[in-house]
Structure 1
Amino acid sequence: MSGIGPFPIQVVTVIAAVLLAWLTARIVGRRTPDVSYKAAGSMILDAVFWGLLTARLAYIAQWWEEYSATPRSMIAIGDGGFVWWVGVLVVVAYIWRRTRSAQILRVPVMAGVMVGVAAWALAGGVLALLLRAAPPLPDLQLATLDEHPVSLSEYAGRPIVLNLWASWCPPCRREMPVFEQAQTDFPDVAFVLVNQGESAQQAQAFLESEGLSLTDVLLDPASEAMRTMNSRGLPTTLFFDAQGRQVDMHLGEITMPSLKDKMLRRFDLSSGSGAEK
Structure 2
Amino acid sequence: MERMLQLGPLALPWTLLILLAAWQLGNLVHERLSARSGLAPGPHGWRLTLAALLAARLGFVLGYPAEYAAAPWSVPDIRDGGWQPWAGLGAALLYVAVLWLWRSPWRRPLASGLAMFVAAWLTGLALLRATAAPGAADLPTWRGVALDAGSVAPADLRGQPVVVNLWASWCPPCRREMPVLLQARQAHGQVRFLWVNQGEPPETVARFAARQGLPAADVLLDTPAQLGRTLGYKALPTTLFYDGRGRLVAVRAGELSAATLAHHLAQITGPARPAP
TM-score range, shorter chain: 0.7 to 0.9
1:236 matched residue in structure 2? 238
1:15 matched residue in structure 2? 20
1:50 matched residue in structure 2? 51
Q: CA deviation at 1:98?
A: 4.7
Instruction: State the number of aligned residues.
Output: 269
- Change in 2 beyond 3 A, CA 1:231/1:45: same
Task: Give the alignment partner of residue 255 of structure 1, picking from 254, 257, 260.
Answer: 257
| Cα separation, 1, equivalents of 2:176 and 2:199 | 19
User: What 5-or-longer segments of structure 1 have no aligned partner?
Assistant: none
Letter in 2 for 1:182: A
Q: TM-score, normalised by structure 1?
A: 0.87
Mean Cα deviation higher: 46-55 or 219-228 = 46-55
C-alpha deviations, 1:221-259, integer Å up to 9, x for none?
110011110003111111222222212211111112112
| Cα separation, 1, equivalents of 2:256 and 2:216 | 17
Identity of aligned residues (%): 32
CA RMSD of aligned residues (A): 2.4
| Cα separation, 2, equivalents of 1:213 and 1:181 | 12
- Change in 2 beyond 3 A, CA 1:81/1:97: same
Q: CA deviation at 1:219?
A: 0.7
Letter in 1 for 2:39: V
| Cα separation, 2, equivalents of 1:25 and 1:242 | 45
- Change in 2 beyond 3 A, CA 1:124/1:57: same
| Cα separation, 2, equivalents of 1:78 and 1:124 | 22
| Cα separation, 2, equivalents of 1:190 and 1:111 | 47
1:186 aligns with 2:185: no
Mean Cα deviation higher: 125-134 or 64-73 = 125-134
Matching of residues 92-241 of structure 1 within 5 Å: 92-98=93-99, 103-131=104-132, 133-135=134-136, 136-213=138-215, 216-241=218-243
- Change in 2 beyond 3 A, CA 1:87/1:43: same
- Change in 2 beyond 3 A, CA 1:91/1:214: farther
Q: Secondary structure at the match of 1:50?
A: helix
Q: TM-score, normalised by structure 2?
A: 0.87
Q: CA deviation at 1:199?
A: 1.7
C-alpha deviations, 1:197-219, integer Å up to 9, x for none?
01221112112333445751111
2:39 matched residue in structure 1? 35
C-alpha deviations, 1:121-154, integer Å up to 9, x for none?
2222333344573512121121111444333322
